[in-house]
Amino acid sequence: MRKALGLLLTLALVLGLVGPGASAQTKDKPGTPERKSVHVQIVLFDGFDLMDALAPYEVFAAAGMYTGEAMTVELVSAEGKRSVPSGLNGPALEATAKLDPNRPGIILVPGASGKPAGKTADAIPAILAQAAKTSLPGIMKKALDNKDVTVAAVCGGSLLLAMPGFLKGKHAVTNHIGMDALGALGAIPVKARVVEDNPRLVTGGGVTSGLDVALYLVERELGPQVANEVEKLFEYESRGTVWKAEGLVPIDFAANQEGKAQPVK
Amino acid sequence: MRKALGLLLTLALVLGLVGPGASAQTKDKPGTPERKSVHVQIVLFDGFDLMDALAPYEVFAAAGMYTGEAMTVELVSAEGKRSVPSGLNGPALEATAKLDPNRPGIILVPGASGKPAGKTADAIPAILAQAAKTSLPGIMKKALDNKDVTVAAVCGGSLLLAMPGFLKGKHAVTNHIGMDALGALGAIPVKARVVEDNPRLVTGGGVTSGLDVALYLVERELGPQVANEVEKLFEYESRGTVWKAEGLVPIDFAANQEGKAQPVK
């Protein structure tokens, strides 16, 4: 027993040693009262994908931890507080509040988890179609119209926004298996891991790109030092240049063998 | 309304087109009745880290989906069926069964989510110390002694196994901020993203390395085609060579400027 206590003490001491280094990294920009907190709502719906929702959740939560709550995050649903089952018979998560499109900050829509194709009720197209019949699209329309809200979507979340026509003419990305559908629904599909349009719409590709969507938003809202600290904690480095409609447009060699790079019109 | 239906149909059709390709990839090795299913238990404890637990959960679940359930996965706890709160005041998940150390397959222990240092109850050392006081270590000892079980741990999960002395003399990895503690607790810390010892102990580094631990186990148990299919679905490529105590031992230039690579003794 004394030995066990000694080991616990060792563990606490050794882990404790990293404290000063970690806090030194963030001391230039502590979460100060004058900095308004960025609130993130992550929207759950029946059949949602766990990692699409929770990888960003955890990035945002860690960013809050490293800034004295300059960022806060909660799980919400269109229907309000309820237990929401994830897809593929996965575990349920409790949405603790109703999705509020009037609240400034970030609203993130995950995709669905299910069979990647087919016509059964547990296939992704059916799960997204079911979610599209709820009050979720109507509320998201208000969020998209709110200038104080950035709407983010991961994986099939982009399709869920595109299905009612909300992404017409907007640049976006989704899981590679849904890119043709995204185009058919009127969006401009861009092959990048993260795509920012306008800049109030930020979409990510397949499941794990949710990490990159969230790290980009943390950097944009709170700065690179916080994003870097979260990356170190999670042993992840954000992947891919965030695509934006700015800068030179690279020559499209498939369409034009001789052109020059052009600025965005 | 007709337009909305048309768009849904387009979505279903476009997504449907990927079906034949996806199933062609797995047709060589379908989940056949003679292949026994690999069961995975993921162990939740109060304050567990969401991504440590759920990124592997989702990889294993997708592997099951692509093989007609040649792999099954469930969330368990030492106490049995109960709602288990995650760390940092995060959402709870329902453990649906009691951790069974006698059941052949894989048992995965996640780490804790909390402040990376300090002495408060919401700091990782305190959360792990609390979990170490439950019946979890006793059950995990039986699992480690069961030749039909592979024990996997992600991030602080390795420390949880090391605290009662179970990793003495074993090669393992944990989050980089816990590597000194892991050594102080008698394990042999190895700087790799995934470390396999013996081969019934597989550990991973920080949070996102859970993806790599799970993809490695899927490849080892079900083959590379299934792991590759899951990678494509999640838009992730497994990172890092899995360290094993085999092959040549590279020259340690810090200790020896002139040596030759040596085989493992």
pLDDT in tens, B142-184: 999 999 999 999 999 999 999 999 999 999 999 999 999 999 9
Task: Please count the other Cβ atoms lying within 10 Å of the Cβ belonging to residue A263.
Answer: 8
Is A9 a member of any domain? no
Chain A to chain B Cβ contacts (< 8 Å): 197
Expressed in angstroms, the distance from the first to the final Cα of chain A is: 72
The backbone torsions φ and ψ at residue B173, rounded to the nearest 5 degrees and listed phi first, read: -135, 155
Is B257 a member of any domain? no
Gap between the Cα atoms of B186 and B192, Å rounded: 18
The structural domain count of chain A equals 1
Is A127 a member of any domain? yes
Rounded to an integer, what is the distance from CA A131 to the centroid of its chain? 18
Nearest residue of A to residue B159, measured between CA atoms: A11
How close does chain B come to A170, measured CA to CA in Å?
17
| Residue among A55, A118, A233 whose CB faces B116 most closely | A233
Is B117 a member of any domain? yes
Strand extents, DSSP E, chain A: 38-44, 71-77, 82-85, 92-95, 97-98, 105-109, 149-154, 171-172, 188-189, 194-197, 201-204, 248-249, 262-263
CATH of the domain at A90: 3.40.50.880
Nearest residue of B to residue A230, measured between CA atoms: B207
How close does chain B come to A200, measured CA to CA in Å?
24
Contact (CB<8Å) B116/A14: no
Mutation target to probe the B interface, by most B beta carbons within 10 A, among A2, A44, A58 is A58
Q: Mean pLDDT score of chain A, rounded to an integer?
A: 89
Expressed in angstroms, the distance from the first to the final Cα of chain B is: 72
- Residues of B within 8 A of A55 (CB-CB) are 51, 55
| Residue among A51, A115, A176 whose CB faces B58 most closely | A51
Contact (CB<8Å) B51/A50: no
- Residues of A within 8 A of B164 (CB-CB) are 4
**Residues spanned by the domain of A61:** 38-155+207-246
How close does chain A come to B150, measured CA to CA in Å?
23
Contact (CB<8Å) A207/B128: no
Is A211 a member of any domain? yes
Task: Please count the other Cβ atoms lying within 10 Å of the Cβ belonging to residue B192.
Answer: 20
pLDDT in tens, A240-257: 999 999 999 998 888 865
Contact (CB<8Å) A10/B178: no
Residues of chain B with pLDDT under 50: 1, 13, 16-29, 31-33
- Identity (one letter) of the amino acid at A232? K
Residues of chain A with pLDDT under 50: 1, 13, 16-29, 31-33
CA atoms B12, B15, B21, B24: torsion sign? negative
Q: Which pLDDT score, from 0 to 100, does residue B160 have?
A: 98
Residue with token string 């998940």: B93
This prediction's pTM? 0.85
- Residues of B within 8 A of A92 (CB-CB) are 94
Contact (CB<8Å) A50/B65: no
- Residues of A within 8 A of B72 (CB-CB) are none
Q: Which pLDDT score, from 0 to 100, does residue A14 have?
A: 52
| Residue among A57, A184, A235 whose CB faces B175 most closely | A235
Q: Which pLDDT score, from 0 to 100, does residue A254 have?
A: 86
Q: Which pLDDT score, from 0 to 100, does residue B29 have?
A: 47
SS3 A85: strand
Is A70 a member of any domain? yes
- Residues of B within 8 A of A117 (CB-CB) are 15-19, 22
Contact (CB<8Å) B233/A175: yes
pLDDT in tens, A24-83: 344 444 544 456 899 999 999 999 999 999 999 999 999 999 999 999 999 999 999 999
| Residue among B93, B165, B234 whose CB faces A206 most closely | B234
How close does chain A come to B242, measured CA to CA in Å?
16
Is B261 a member of any domain? no
- Residues of A within 8 A of B22 (CB-CB) are 116-117
- Residues of A within 8 A of B17 (CB-CB) are 117, 180
Is A61 a member of any domain? yes
ipTM of the complex: 0.81
Contact (CB<8Å) B51/A54: yes
Nearest residue of A to residue B92, measured between CA atoms: A93
Contact (CB<8Å) A207/B54: no
